[in-house]
Amino acid sequence: MKTPIVLLFAGVLLCPAPTSAAPSTTQEIEEALTCQCSCGLTVHSCNHLQCGFAVPAKQTIAEQIQQEKGKDEIIAAFVARYGEKVLSAPTTTGFNLAAWLTPFLALLIGGAVVGVLSLRWTRKRLRDAAETPIAPPSTNQYRARLQKELDTFDG
């Protein structure tokens, strides 16, 4: 009895998930694009009533969705026209990937260098301290110094 359930479960897991054929909504596409009126918001959330970019962009997006173009195709058209600055999220290829990873790599490498140097300095200090033992002064030196100070004391 367990075998058919296991086979059914395995079949469900091994079957590829159906691709979403549902058309993209205008909001999804508008959120993927940054308004170029310098407000810093996405096209969807730009709050300027007569925005010179968001209003025409929303119309263009609506027209292209009516022409049954996909989200990627519409976004690619905006990128071709305005450049990558129109994207609300940077791509993860080329220079953008390097720009995102470089600060983290620099921190990791810097931390490793600081760690290695501090270990070396600590070990060198311990090694130098072990090589040069401090000899305690003999009691005869103290007695001679005390006698000298007592002889010069005017009391």
The pLDDT tens digits of the residues spanning 128-147 come to 777 776 667 678 888 888 89
CA distance 61 to 81: 14
**Residue 21: its pLDDT value, please?**
44
CA distance 92 to 89: 9
Token look-up 């308004």 returns 35
CA distance 72 to 32: 10
Q: How confident is the model at residue 11 (pLDDT cuts 50, 70, 90)?
A: low
CA distance 106 to 111: 8
Q: How confident is the model at residue 85 (pLDDT cuts 50, 70, 90)?
A: confident
Q: Decide if 86 contacts 33 (C-beta within 8 A).
A: yes
Higher pLDDT, 20 or 92: 92
Cβ-based burial of 78 (10 A; exposed 0-12, middle 13-18, buried ≥19): buried
| Beta strands per DSSP E along 1-153 | none
pTM (two decimals)? 0.52
**Residue 88: its pLDDT value, please?**
86
Mean pLDDT of 10-38: 69
Token look-up 């590829």 returns 16
